[in-house]
Amino acid sequence: MEFVTGYTQHEADIPQLFRDVFSASEGAAEGALIGTLAQVMMATAPKNDLYVFSARDGDVMTGCIFFSRVDFAEDDRRAFILSPVAVRTDRQRTGVGQTLIRFGLQRLRKDGVDYALTYGDPEYYCKTGFQLISEAFARAPLPLSHPHGWLGQSLSERGTAPYRGASRCVDALNQPELW
């Protein structure tokens, strides 16, 4: 398995992977929503506010994850949120997702990011170091429909204390139906 940082050579494959994976797991409407999310994030997020990591097996993209910047109004620490995440349907449960998430977190640490957030299944994300957090610790950018899926992990020594002020995500994630 090979890991690729960035999306410039795979800009068309990536939305298609998300569309296919989420259509298979959650239905066509969710597939369209997440495929479009991936496309719009790559097209609109400022370059320094987005990390895209993918796993490849030869010519086949087996998984892809995005981290995008979250700013806290009264806090100068750097936080990124992991979303969306997809592993090709015929490669799921073979370790691709966890290996890719660890690869991405390592790069964020190296770049001096203080905190990683995500929003999803705690059973899964706790395997890569995320823990349940509350909005008293770090406010979500939009109202959470499943507050028990709000997760985070510190990536630096100064990352561990609560985050101050309201938070703001990139425009592409600023849609109530995603939260």
Ligand X SMILES: CC(C)(COP(=O)(O)OP(=O)(O)OC[C@H]1O[C@@H](n2cnc3c(N)ncnc32)[C@H](O)[C@@H]1OP(=O)(O)O)[C@@H](O)C(=O)NCCC(=O)NCCS
Distance CA 77, CA 68 (A): 14
* Residues 67-86 interacting with ligand X (rule: CB under 6 A): 85-86
Closer CB to ligand X, 38 or 170, in the complex: 38
Strands (E), the chain: 2-5, 50-57, 60-72, 79-87, 115-119, 131-132, 150-154, 167-168
Site string for ligand X, 29-68 (x = CB under 6 A): ----------------------------------------
Closer CB to ligand X, 38 or 85, in the complex: 85
Which 3 state secondary structure label does DSSP give 32? helix
Site string for ligand X, 100-139 (x = CB under 6 A): --------------------xx-xx--x------------
Closer CB to ligand X, 13 or 75, in the complex: 13
Q: Is residue 87 near ligand X by the rule CB under 6 A?
A: yes
Which 3 state secondary structure label does DSSP give 89? helix
Burial group, residue 92, by CB count within 10 angstroms (0-12, 13-18, 19+): middle
